[in-house]
Amino acid sequence: MTTKKPNPTGTRRGRRGASSSRLADALRRAADNTDEPPSVAPDEVEAAAAESDAAGVGKGERKDSASYRIGEVAGLVGVDAHVLRYWESEFRLKPERSASGQRVYRQKDLARFLRIKSLLHDEGYTIAGARRVLENGVESKPTVDNSRLQAALERVRGVREQISEMRDQIEMELIHR
């Protein structure tokens, strides 16, 4: 019978975590390789880039040689790994695979995921709308039909008035009992 040895550091064994300087370097490279703004605040990118420059990370590396595992990309993008796998299926993305079958992401993949997150979370696109934007390369803001919005607001006001009238009627009935 085998027993697990205690792990004093509290980290998983055999898994290399992404250091903050490596993550900062990845964010900087992703921002350099795409025209779209990253979904990370600019001051965070600048701070992370300064930290990585101070640590000397990334100097002498080829920009296209960097590869990341799904957990690292998930951390950089700010979503869970299962979300990245879902986006792969919805946006027809095919990441490279290692010899052992694990996903290997490159800078272009990271930039693509950052753009997808921006479209979905920041700009309010649906999956289908974001897919159209990425496939056509044409940016069009989601449109809102003001007349339909105004009509919906009027219906909501009407329903609230009916609810208020019903409450008043119920209160009156309770008082007269």
Neighbouring-strand partners of residue 105: 68
Is 127:86 a contact under the CB 8 Å cutoff? no
Q: Is the dihedral of CA 72, 78, 80, 83 positive or negative?
A: negative
Measure the CA–CA gap between 115 and 121, rounded to whole angstroms.
10
Entry pTM: 0.48
pLDDT truncated to tens, each residue of the chain (177 aa)?
555 555 444 444 444 444 555 655 666 665 555 444 444 444 444 444 444 444 333 433 444 568 899 999 999 999 999 999 999 999 999 999 999 999 999 999 999 999 999 999 988 889 998 998 888 876 655 556 677 778 888 999 999 999 999 999 999 999 988
- Residue spans per domain, the chain: 20-136, 144-177
Q: Domain spanning 20-136 has what CATH number?
A: 1.10.1660.10
End-to-end CA gap in the chain: 75
What is the number of residues in the chain? 177
Is 73:110 a contact under the CB 8 Å cutoff? yes
